[in-house]
Amino acid sequence: MAEYDWLEKRTPRAVDQLRLWADNPRLDPVENHVSLVDYVSDLIAENAEKESFLKLIDSIATDGYIPADPVVVWKNEANNKYYVAEGNRRALILKLLRNPDKAPKSIRPYIRRKSELIDRKDIEKIKVCIAPSFEACEWYINQRHSSSSIQRRWSRLQQQRWIAELYDKYNGNINLVASKARLRKSELDYTLRILHIRDLALNPIVLKSLTPEEQDSVKSHRIPITIFERWFVNPVIKEKWGIEFDEDVVNITSNEDSFLNAYAAWIKLVVHRDDYDVKVKVNTRSIDINLDGILACLPEVSFGVGDITPDDKKPASDNKQQKSADEADAQDSKEINKRPINKNPDRNNLVVDTCQLKTQNYKLDAIFREFKIIPFRYRNCVAASLRVFLDLAVREYIASENCEEDMRKKYNNMDIQYIVLQKKLEYLKKNKLTAKTSAYKVVDKLLNPSNHYSLDTLNNYIHGSDTHHTEKRFLNGFWDFLVPLFEEIIDIKAP
């Protein structure tokens, strides 16, 4: 049709000159979107969206920009600027790769590393489809994203079946399959494990226990693969049913016949999950909230001689002590939740749940999340980890500010990893932090050994032999003292 002729034409346009669409449904309409940071921060606000965004960055940086799907733009006659109707994420990523310093602090080091993999001249211009108006773009936008689109993606199981076909075609060459399917090896291993578990439903022992109608169901694509994922990655099920994962291989450590007997009973519940008279529901929600109830309706899985389960192998005294400790922690958590937790010196975890951190540094993120759950009966671990967290945060800031080379020059060309934390803090105080700000004052006090909340105290947690300053109130206070500095150097939001 003549009205869509513009979709067949590709015209080169400068990436830096393309304007992003502020009314894009991917964006929060409450937020203002002026700078690149505004757009990126909104797009990566949710973990799932952030993961997808980073995958796209990695793809473009590694394989180059591939114009398989057109970037669709329209010209605003009021200012003669071109705005992106479709392809905003790709356009935004190209802008970031060309100008990494415009990325948010939380992903700036990541963007800089990826930018080094691509020649910026290669993405100076891209070919776009220029629509005569925004209204002309609407059909294409609906076709790509609307629920009424005639395009349909594969179901999850269909996608995983495709991966399995590639796996067989290329003789189990996981690296090649991962490249073809655009998956990381860990993702591919995970998919193959779930498929293997799902195909256990076709085992003759299992099929023998099913009616013809039930057999037809398990042989089709009608059972949601998410139910298998939720059940078999649950640590309780893995332990009680004897399931171990080794890359793409699933090992059954329990008695095989016993396992398949329980599996067959479970499959029946899954097949009949929507029947009105089913005695117990098995779906992704019920697995989380009624796991014990589901297990009570299933045959117990045995482990060979004496039917010893993993729980039976533990000494009774150990089980009792662990249970008592866990119950105490649970009770403490209930009590602490009744009180205000913001800067509460008696809180039971160093970091409260409402405190959020955005970072691409795995160690920094992992320690931060562990601070939210580790109880203070492990106070030496908390204390030592606080020192490590500060070091990692400072290192992250130095990388995001691209001042590694300047710091090396100031310290006799010493490699950054050998420059001690004290020197790094002195550098930040002198060259990066604004005088009299809260972050500046925190660093100033950290560098003063006479303060209780000092770098000397943190260093003593790791290098010293003293055991003082590890009580709950002191460690909570130390974290609260450091928060203004963290808010300045990493992307952290404290309550």
- Give 214-274 as a 3 state SS string: HHHHHHCCCCCHHHHHHHHCCHHHHHHCCEEEECCEEEECCCHHHHHHHHHHHHHHHHCCC
Q: Count structural domains, the chain.
A: 3
Q: Which of 90, 110, 145 is the last residue of a domain?
A: 145
* 13 and 136 belong to one structural domain: yes
* Structural domain boundaries enclosing 192: 156-307
Q: Provide the pairing of β-strand 356-358 with 249-252.
A: unpaired
- Separation between Cα atoms, residue 262 and residue 239, nearest integer Å: 14
User: Can you give the pLDDT at residue 467?
Assistant: 66
* Both tokens assigned to 178: 């991962």
- What is each CA distance from 14 to 94, 121, 128, 216, in whole angstroms? 11, 11, 10, 55
Q: 111 and 217 in one domain?
A: no
Cα separation, 269 vs 273, whole angstroms: 6
Q: Is 321 domain-assigned?
A: no
Please tell me whether residues 282 and 390 are part of one structural domain: no
Q: Same domain, yes or no, for 108 and 127?
A: yes
Is 319 a member of any domain? no
The predicted pLDDT at position 301 comes to 92
My answer on whether 290 and 348 are in the same domain is no
Query: Does residue 472 share a domain with residue 380?
Result: yes
Position 283 scores a pLDDT of 82
In this structure, are 45 and 184 located in the same domain?
no
pLDDT digit string (tens) for the chain, length 495 residues: 567 788 889 999 999 999 999 888 888 877 889 999 999 998 998 887 888 899 899 989 988 898 888 999 999 988 999 999 999 999 999 999 999 999 998 899 999 999 999 999 999 999 999 998 888 888 788 777 765 556 666 666 667 667 777 776 777 677 777 777 767 777 777 778 887 888 888 888 899 998 988 888 887 656 677 788 889 888 899 989 998 887 777 888 899 999 999 999 999 888 888 887 777 888 888 888 888 899 999 999 998 644 434 444 444 444 545 445 445 544 444 443 333 334 688 888 999 988 999 888 889 999 999 999 998 888 899 999 999 999 999 999 998 888 888 888 888 888 888 899 999 999 999 999 988 899 999 999 999 988 889 999 999 888 877 667 888 889 999 999 999 999 999 999 876
Same domain, 13 and 127: yes
- Out of 145, 180, 213, pick the residue that ends a domain: 145
Instruction: Decide if 175 contacts 185 (C-beta within 8 A).
Output: yes
CA–CA separation, 461 vs 382, rounded Å?
10
Q: Are strands 249-252 and 243-246 parallel, antiparallel or unpaired?
A: antiparallel
Question: How far is Cα 348 from Cα 350, in angstroms, rounded to an integer?
Answer: 7
Q: What three-state secondary structure class fits 12?
A: strand
Decide: residue 182, CB within 10 A, 0-12 exposed, 13-18 middle, 19+ buried.
Answer: exposed
- Residue 329 falls within a domain, yes or no? no
Three-class SS of residue 351?
coil
Give the pLDDT score at 276: 74
> Residue by residue, what is the 3-state secondary structure of 276-297?
CCCCCCCCHHHHHHCHHHHHHC
How, if at all, do strands 125-131 and 11-14 pair? Answer: antiparallel
**What does each C-alpha distance from 402 to 114, 417, 423, 488 come to in angstroms?**
14, 15, 17, 16
Q: What is the pLDDT of residue 278?
A: 75
Do 345 and 443 belong together in one domain? yes
The two three-digit tokens of residue 409, written as one number: 């020059």
Residue 330 included in any domain: no
Q: What share of the chain is helix, strand, coil (3-state, %, to 5)?
A: 55, 10, 35
185 in the same domain as 102 = no
Contact of 150 with 143, CB cutoff 8 Å: yes
CB 18 within 8 A of CB 73: yes
Is 370 contained in some domain?
A: yes
Domain boundary among 145, 167, 194: 145
Per the domain annotation, does 250 fall within a domain? Answer: yes
Q: Is residue 74 part of a domain?
A: yes
Strand, coil or helix: 329: helix
Backbone φ, ψ for residue 103 (5° rounding): -80, 155
Whether residue 114 is contained in a domain is answered as yes
**Distance (Å, whole) CA 298 – CA 427:** 63
Tell me, yes or no, whether 67 and 211 share the same domain.
no
Phi, psi for residue 111 in degrees, rounded to 5: -65, -40
The three-class DSSP label of residue 7 is helix
Q: Is 302 found in the same domain as 173?
A: yes
